[in-house]
Amino acid sequence: MSIQRILVADDEESIRWVLSKALKKQGFHVDLAEDGAQAKHLAGKNHYDLAVLDIKMPGIHGLDLLKDFRTNFPDTLVVIMTAEATMEHAVSAMKHGAYDYLTKPFDLTALDAIILKAQKAAEITEQIDQLKEELQDQYSFGRSIIGNSQPMQEVYKTLGRVAGSDVTVLVTGESGTGKELVARAIHINSPRLGKPFIALNCAAIPHELLESELFGHERGAFTGASERKIGKFEQADQGTLFLDEIGDMPLELQAKLLRVLQEKEITRTGGSQSLKVDVRIVAATNQDIAERVKEKHFREDLYYRLNVIPINLPALRQRREDIPMLVDFFLQRARQDLGIEHMECTTDALDHLMAHDWPGNVRELENVIKRAALLSPNNILTPADFPGLSDGGKVRSQDESLEALVARKLQNSLAQMNLLEMNNLYEMVLHQVERPLINIVLNKARGNQVRTAEILGINRNTLRKKIKTLDIEIKRGQGD
């Protein structure tokens, strides 16, 4: 947004004429109003980037008009003019949201300076709004957090419900499942976007320093505290504080955290003054917090305070059908970040990746794909480009149940299809399973259809119909 259209409201015709001439000379579109009522009418018809309003006008007072603009036209910057240079008028104008204040008589260069400042402010606001839109697009659910599997659909539903509120969220899941990514997505899709997002890993800070990291300290609070330190709560004021690995927080500090969550104020270590903070908490852990509560390692009251909305992120092995989509996403990122040409995986390579258990979850998959993209001499990745995955992680077919084997193969096949455009998937899959099953049993029974029907547990006529429907060829020597 740049300033293009300006409204000037003043009951003195000479002021209107001078301002109109000067502003039009600079290329602005200018509309004039001789009183507050006319100014309000024009504002209802047109969008103004800037309004220059006199305080004393017939009908609607300039300060009342200012309040109306702030309520109904919040994007319009308002400059107040007055011939009475009183402190009361200046304070009142700024208090009610005026962008600036001019005392008559004023030099036109003063107005030019205000417009230039407003122009720069408008450009910065536009850039910030654009960055916000880009962030919201980048961190939209299902885009930054990849996956269309049923477990992830449940995660998206919960995120969509809670992101716009201030409710406390507890994100659980194994290491590498994307807990911080979820926390950032919650923040970016909330009204707190544009305010700080502060992350603290409770497991990475020594216990004796964690309190200072959270709440800050005053100078001289302890040996080595040579100056005041602002803690994470103060840094995150008006924004979101992400407390990662909350399960590792020491018990004595848990009590202080609980008090802060209840009273919404902190006291720096070594200080006596209470400071109000407005912070949304998103906590995360890879531990079973309920079990930690039973073991008396985590406060039950804090657990309930944090666990208002629980979000559990599934392990990657629990949503293998998302692996092809994740692989494609990480290959695209590798092309952008590493300057690598177009690269893709063969079906065998995807099978290889989907068979791995991924103890490090999505983070491990990302590193494996990045390494393969860097080291492979070809732009087609094969199983040979992922040599380490067969050791200890690969699910071998002889160790799998039939159901697990079928599920894995189905996940791989269905991941390549657009399921939302299909209407006969059940029948298609059933036929593909029935055909090899009947063929195998027919061969085992040496073509004896009576015995085949008995083994399958179906009627002989049903078997005959299926042989015909599925176009199963009866080889020579097979038959009743």
On the CB side of 155, CA atoms within 13 Å amount to: 30
Find the mean pLDDT for residues 236-247. 95
More confident residue, 87 or 120: 120
pLDDT attached to residue 417? 63
pLDDT attached to residue 118? 81
Find the mean pLDDT for residues 452-479. 81
Asked whether residue 58 carries a pLDDT value surpassing 60, the answer given is: yes
pTM of the shown model = 0.60
In the chain, what are the domain boundaries? 5-131, 146-312, 316-400, 423-469
Find the mean pLDDT for residues 68-87. 81
**Neighbour tally for 172: CB within 10 Å:** 21
Cross-strand pairs, 9: 33, 53
Find the mean pLDDT for residues 180-190. 90
pLDDT attached to residue 333? 87
Asked whether residue 86 carries a pLDDT value surpassing 70, the answer given is: no
Query: How far apart (Å, rounded) are the C-alpha atoms in residues 315 and 319?
Result: 7
- 453: Cβ–Cβ under 8 A, 6 or more apart, which residues? 459, 460, 462, 463
* CATH code of the domain made up of 423-469: 1.10.10.60
Question: Could you report the per-residue pLDDT of 278-311, keeping only the tens digit for each?
Answer: 999 999 999 999 999 999 999 999 999 999 999 9
141 touches 159 (CB < 8 A): yes
Asked whether residue 461 carries a pLDDT value surpassing 70, the answer given is: yes
* CATH code of the domain made up of 5-131: 3.40.50.2300
Question: Could you report the per-residue pLDDT of 352-405, keeping only the tens digit for each?
Answer: 899 899 999 999 999 999 999 988 888 899 999 998 775 444 444 444 556 656
pLDDT attached to residue 65? 87
Tell me if 316-400 shares its fold with 423-469: no
Query: How far apart (Å, rounded) are the C-alpha atoms in residues 479 and 401?
Result: 32
284 touches 179 (CB < 8 A): yes
Question: Could you report the per-residue pLDDT of 9-34, keeping only the tens digit for each?
Answer: 998 899 899 999 999 988 899 999 99
Asked whether residue 263 carries a pLDDT value surpassing 60, the answer given is: yes
Q: Both tokens of residue 445?
A: 């029974």
pLDDT attached to residue 394? 44
Question: Could you report the per-residue pLDDT of 424-460, keeping only the tens digit for each?
Answer: 788 778 877 888 888 888 888 888 889 999 998 999 8
pLDDT attached to residue 398? 46
pLDDT attached to residue 29? 93
pLDDT attached to residue 176? 94
Task: Quote the distance between the C-alpha of residue 433 and its chain's center.
Answer: 40
Question: Could you report the per-residue pLDDT of 88-100, keeping only the tens digit for each?
Answer: 666 677 777 888 8
The yes or no reply on domain 316-400 and CATH 1.10.8.60 is yes
What is the DSSP code string of 294-342?
A: HTTSS-HHHHHHHTTEEEEPPPGGGGGGGHHHHHHHHHHHHHHHH-PPP
At the top level of CATH, the class of 146-312 is alpha beta
- Among 138-142, 254-258, 261-265, name the one with the lowest average pLDDT: 138-142
Q: What is the pLDDT of the chain when averaged over all its residues?
A: 84
